Amino acid sequence: MAETAATEAFGQGTESRRGFLTILTGAASAVAAGAVLWPLVDALNPDAQSESRARMVVNVADIAENTAKTVQWNGLPIYIRKLTAQQIAAAQAVVTDTLPDPADFTARVNAAYQNYVVVVGLNTGITCALEGNDPSDPRGDYDGWLCPCDGSQYDALGRVRSGPATKNLAIPRFTFINAAQIRLG
Amino acid sequence: MTTETKQIPCLGALCACLCAPVHKPEGKYLDTLPGLTAILLAFLTLSGLVLAVYYDPWHAFASVGFIGHEVNNGWLVQAYHATGATALFGLVYLYLFRAMLTRGYRAPGELVWGLGVKLMAVLLLVGWLGFVLTGGAAAYWSLFKASNGALALSGAAGAIGGWFFGGPAGSGTLARLELFHAVLAVGAMAVLWLLFAARRAVVPRAEPGQGVAFFPYYLAQYLVALAVFALIFSVLAFFTPHLGQPAVNALPADPLTLPLGTVLPWYLLPLAGIAQALPGIWGGILGVVGALAVLAALPWLDRSGPAGAKGGLYCVFTWVLAADVIGLGITAAARNYPQASLLLVLFTFWYFFHFLVLTPFVTAIEAK
């Protein structure tokens, strides 16, 4: 009893023994509550399958020149097109200032893999899947993609060239893992 | 409690309520049982909300497997919820049994007792619905029997059963039962809130100058009780996550093959035993309703009066009743031996005999 009184007399607020015990109990309780509640929070994070779908790996080695393949990613049609040397030269020669939505060659392709164009294959005017992946498809006047719904035309890099649409095709977030594979997301 | 918090009106009122020295000192640790029940109900609501995100009543069994296998920490959330149900019934049964032993149900505690029985009744229904939602073989068997029994009834009872189950058991049945499970759980919280209010109205207050405040005296007691409870809960959740659940529920339901050993979770077994002991659908319904009714009527069946002596003989009979209820549960779980039906009838008879005959006579004799 005398000891308690002495402690009370010497220590003020959190400096006393009781204050220390209070902090210790509070800290332990906070850790315990956090450990109990964390699984409930974590359960709402995307599961492994959703994570892997959101970070999809696509094989691009099997794409023939001058054609594109379509993959569904996050609900979007992604067009991955392999350019010919001729198309690369033609695209580099375009004077970008004259375009409706100016963007130069380096802004549209990966510097290390210049022959691949990766775009979201939806018209930027009214939303509509574009035609022109296969060389036999109608591609418009610029050897790119044509919108069957409003007639907007895009070139091989996905830049808008004519039609109601005024914006270039969106480029999804992607990285080249190696020359044969890209990862979307 | 600093002056800053007192300047915020609602916090100030809360502080005044928590710091008012009105409670009697030397409260019992088991007085925290309703408080622990409230905390556990909140915890079950949280884990149930997380499960409801992924649960699909149209593919119940597959979605339960998906939660356990694919969802991050889903196995742990399932263990939380299943062990939470076990712990909840542990708390409620312990609370009611303690009230019977201490005879806390007598005036002025009749309302508190009645609300406690009502809480148990609502929770039993919520627990059964939650068990049925798992979509396993045992769950399907139980739902199949209940819905077919309800639809076979005539008149208003059959109409109510048809409304509740929406026709014979199928995938769509679980969609509505999921909703009933959640809504009735909220109802259970409301009953618990009423129980707190009723208890606050009748609990004896300390003499002026001799009481202690909730903060910090009883808060410390609650924290100790909560820590002990959390330890027991952790052991159950991590070492026996399927405690008291029938093993065949891990099989998918097949309407044409009902495997042996399809029983209910442990907390439903005593009442199921009474239902099985009585013949027919109406026998089962009357057995369940009657068992809960005589339990709720205990304050009036006890003839010793509010100030009567607590006799030792009646205390012994209360322990015998506990053994009887456990016996009902064990017998209902293992019905594959010939004497089981007779035992169920005997245990059921004793249950009602205890309340309707023993209780009035023994308490009246001991009060003299």
The 10s digit of each residue's pLDDT in A110-138 is 888 888 999 999 999 889 999 988 888 88
Helix A17-42 and helix B74-102, axial crossing angle in degrees, nearest 10: 120
B15 or B324: whose pLDDT is higher?
B324
The secondary structure element, H or E, covering residue A162 is strand A160-162
Nearest CA in chain A to B81: A40
**A45 touching chain B per CB within 8 A:** yes
**A112 touching chain B per CB within 8 A:** no
**B119 touching chain A per CB within 8 A:** no
Contact status, residue B101 vs residue B315, Cβ threshold 8 Å = yes
Two structure tokens written together for A68: 């594109």
Two structure tokens written together for A102: 């100016």
The listed range with the strongest mean pLDDT (A136-145, B86-95, B270-279) is: B86-95
The pLDDT assigned to B246 comes to: 84
- Residue B2 clears pLDDT 80, i.e. is over it: no
- Note whether A69 and A31 are same-domain residues: no
The pLDDT assigned to A6 comes to: 45
- Residue A150 clears pLDDT 80, i.e. is over it: yes
Contact status, residue A105 vs residue A139, Cβ threshold 8 Å = no
- What is the complex's ipTM, to 2 decimals? 0.81
DSSP B154: -
Kindly tell me the burial class for residue A47, based on how many C-beta atoms sit within 10 Å of its own C-beta (0-12, 13-18, 19 or more).
middle
Residues 6+ apart with CB under 8 A from B199: B34, B109, B112
Residue with token string 């006579």: B361
Nearest CA in chain A to B46: A40
B120 vs A42: CA distance, rounded Å: 32
Q: Indicate the average pLDDT of chain B.
A: 90
B102 vs B220: CA distance, rounded Å: 24
Kindly tell me the burial class for residue B105, based on how many C-beta atoms sit within 10 Å of its own C-beta (0-12, 13-18, 19 or more).
buried
Which residues of B, range 191-230, sit inside 8 Å of A by Cβ? 223, 230
- Note whether A115 and A136 are same-domain residues: yes
Among the residues of chain A, which ranges form H helices? Answer: 2-10, 17-42, 48-54, 85-93, 105-108
The 10s digit of each residue's pLDDT in A72-88 is 998 899 999 998 888 88
- Note whether A17 and A63 are same-domain residues: no
The 10s digit of each residue's pLDDT in A1-36 is 444 544 444 445 556 888 888 899 889 999 999 999
Q: Tell me the CATH number of domain B18-254, given options 1.10.3720.10, 2.60.40.3080, 3.60.20.10, 1.20.810.10.
A: 1.20.810.10
Rg of chain A on CA atoms, in Å: 29
Please report, for residues B94, B171, B359, the alpha-carbon distance to residue A34 in angstroms, rounded to integers and kept in the order given. 28, 37, 48
The amino acid present at A145, given as its one-letter code, is W
- Long-range contact list for B60-67, CB < 8 A, 24+ apart? B60/B133, B60/B134, B60/B135, B60/B171, B60/B174, B61/B134, B61/B135, B61/B136, B61/B252, B61/B253, B64/B134, B64/B135, B64/B136
Domain that holds residue A70: 51-184
**A13 touching chain B per CB within 8 A:** no
- Residue A106 clears pLDDT 90, i.e. is over it: no
- Note whether A30 and A97 are same-domain residues: no
User: Quick check: B77 and A48 CB within 8 A?
Assistant: no
**B77 touching chain A per CB within 8 A:** yes
- Note whether A147 and A80 are same-domain residues: yes
The amino acid present at B351, given as its one-letter code, is Y
- Note whether A31 and A57 are same-domain residues: no
- Note whether A35 and A98 are same-domain residues: no
Q: Provide the β-strand partners of residue A69.
A: A80
Specify the number of domains making up chain A: 2
Mutation to test the A interface, candidates B63, B66, B69, B71, most A Cβ within 10 Å? B71
The pLDDT assigned to A2 comes to: 45
The mean pLDDT of B67-74, rounded to a whole number, is 94
Contact status, residue A182 vs residue A55, Cβ threshold 8 Å = no
pTM score of the predicted model: 0.86
- Note whether A37 and A64 are same-domain residues: no
The mean pLDDT of B217-224, rounded to a whole number, is 89
**A3 touching chain B per CB within 8 A:** no
- Note whether A37 and A56 are same-domain residues: no
- Note whether A31 and A70 are same-domain residues: no
- Note whether A13 and A104 are same-domain residues: no
Nearest-Cα distance to chain B for A45, in Å, is 7
- Note whether A25 and A63 are same-domain residues: no
- Residue B262 clears pLDDT 70, i.e. is over it: no
